[in-house]
Amino acid sequence: MKVIFHNDFHQVYTSDPASAEGRIEAIIRVIEKKVEFVTARPALREDIALVHSEDHINSIKNGGLYEIASLAAGGAIQAAETGLSEPAFAVIRPPGHHASGDSCWGFCFFNNMAIAMRTLLHRGKIQTGYVLDIDMHFGDGTMNTIGHYRCFTVFNPVSHYREAYMDEVKREMDSCQADIIGISAGFDNHEADWGGVLKTENYREIGKLVREAARRNKGGCFAILEGGYNHAVLGGNAMALIEGMEGK
């Protein structure tokens, strides 16, 4: 599988857990011999402006975070474009699903998923898109920015019980109809992370369900990194999702 990545994502750009030293390394160490890396490119300002106001963009720039945040958004766009023809995963940071049009919180600055989806729509590459957000935290920014569009569906499983959670995902994927499915891949709902709900094997199953739905729809699928803070299990969880999307 193609994994969108850039060495700049190793840098510690703030003091929050998403930017913690060793977090990205924990993923790369596990997946590096099993995937094909593609170098991330920064998003164009006009692509970011499809989702965020000029005031918000300028505030991120004034805070010294524009370069890393636009690189993450650009990596998400590349994963989405690649996902139209083959599954792809963007190992990027900062995460994005708590970023709204004019504001952000929760370690996020630009909404990477929303920018990717809006860019594909703007470029005429899709007519419909579906976002499955498996982070333990509700993706309020994604809902705020694209949830009101009739062409987009945004779904956040809510159950705190493993079996019920997986039933939610399966029901959604069984009925999903979209040109592309994007996974906001937060791994903080793992049993050894903050959420304590999912096992590593569940991420593999989620990847499979998404891939099967995309095939049924004759569409595409991709994933982008959101949360996940236990470095000891993060790489294995990311690898499991990749394997599932590959059909393994």
* 189 neighbors 136 (Cβ within 8 angstroms): yes
Nearest to 132 by CA among 211, 54, 50, 201: 211
In this structure, which amino acid lies at residue 108?
A: C
5 phi, psi to nearest 5 deg:
-155, 160
21 phi, psi to nearest 5 deg:
-60, 135
DSSP run (H or E) holding 228: none
DSSP run (H or E) holding 153: strand 152-155
Say how far apart CA 192 and CA 120 lie, in whole Å. Answer: 35
Say how far apart CA 141 and CA 126 lie, in whole Å. Answer: 21
**Residue length, the chain?**
248
> Out of 98, 122, 160, 231, which one is annotated catalytic?
98
Q: Would residue 160 show up in a list of annotated catalytic residues for this protein?
A: no
Catalytic residues: 98
